[in-house]
Structure 1
Amino acid sequence: MKTIHITSQEDLCEVADAVIEMLGRRRVVAFRGGMGAGKTTLIREIVARLGSEDTVTSPTFAIINQYSVPSGKRIFHFDFYRINDIREAYDFGYEEYFYSGDLCLVEWPEKIESLLPEDTMNVRITVDDDQSRTFEID
């Protein structure tokens, strides 16, 4: 596990780089933290560092956003906050995304915990104060 403490949003590049570096063959990353912890902001930095020029926004209502990167691969960004029943994830075919070989970045993974692949990377975000955050990556 790697722990990174930042004191401003400008330091998020260090966290994004660490997530990318630690991915290895894993393709699903679960972002865990309360409302307003900075999950989407970190995902925006990760997507940008992977070379995408797409606009990254939280897919709160759409559930899934797709971004493209220069390698031709896709990045899928999920927000399961509004999922009330795990069957909803089955309905949109979560398996096709999680096992596609493309990177899947998941907000609110607690809503679909049992569906996450065994090798899912976890990024835990703790809000220390208005600007400071602690990130635990494993």
Structure 2
Amino acid sequence: MASLNEVELQDWGRRIGQAASPPLVIALRGDLGTGKTTLARAIAEGAGVEGPVPSPTYNLLFRYWATEGRHVVHIDLFRIQHESEVWELGWEELPSESEIVLIEWPESAEEVLPEPRWEIRLREAESPDARLVTLEAVGEPSPIPDPGG
């Protein structure tokens, strides 16, 4: 577990994006306002996505071109009412060989989450400017940088 402020969280996200070797799935867990979208944007930026990376809360899924033939797929399952709704997003095709898939609110599709994957949990810390970050591998996903350095 690591404690990161917003700048450190963004730096770590960019390092993940730079180092990411597809296919890669990252589930981003945490309460509202803990930094899931901030981290997803930083990962996309590090992967070479240019331009804004809005939250996909209403569209559910955005796909971006990155560098080195990679794509970033940013999914927000907050509005999903039932797990079966994810199939309408092309869920069975995730991830392709060129994709870095970032899933916010993965709890909505717990039983069908792709494996292998990384689980990143963000929680508020004692300091209002910091987040406690926990990183856990499910299966054997390709490596990503540790949040501690």
TM-score band, normalised by the shorter chain? 0.7 to 0.9
Residues 34 and 10 from structure 1, CA distance in 2 versus in 1: closer, same or farther, beyond 3 angstroms? same
Paired residues of 1:26 and 1:120 also in contact (CA < 8 A): no
Instruction: State the SS of the aligned residue for 1:43.
Output: helix
Instruction: State the SS of the aligned residue for 1:36.
Output: coil
Instruction: State the SS of the aligned residue for 2:132.
Output: strand
Residues 10 and 92 from structure 1, CA distance in 2 versus in 1: closer, same or farther, beyond 3 angstroms? closer
Instruction: State the SS of the aligned residue for 1:35.
Output: coil
In the alignment, residue 9 of structure 2 is paired with which amino acid? L
Q: Which residue of 2 is the match for residue 134 of structure 1?
A: 132
Identity of aligned residues (%): 31
Paired residues of 1:26 and 1:121 also in contact (CA < 8 A): no
Q: Which residue of 1 is the match for residue 53 of structure 2?
A: 56
Aligned Cα RMSD in Å?
Answer: 2.0
In the alignment, residue 123 of structure 1 is paired with which amino acid? I
Deviation by residue 1:48-104 (Cα, 9 ceiling, x = unmatched): 1112113111100100011111212210000000000111111222112x2312110
Residues 19 and 51 from structure 1, CA distance in 2 versus in 1: closer, same or farther, beyond 3 angstroms? closer
CA distance in 1, matches of 2:27, 2:77: 11
Q: Which runs of no fewer than 5 residues in structure 2 stay unpaired? A: 137-149
Instruction: Give the deviation of 1:40 after TM superposition.
Output: 0.3
Instruction: Give the deviation of 1:112 after TM superposition.
Output: 0.3
Q: Which residue of 2 is the match for residue 99 of structure 1?
A: 95
Instruction: Give the deviation of 1:10 after TM superposition.
Output: 1.5
In the alignment, structure 1 residue 67 sits paired with structure 2 residue 52: no
TM value normalised by structure 2: 0.80
Instruction: State the SS of the aligned residue for 2:102.
Output: strand
Match of 2:120 among 113, 118, 123: 123
Deviation by residue 1:79-138 (Cα, 9 ceiling, x = unmatched): 000000111111222112x23121100000000011112311100101114211011112
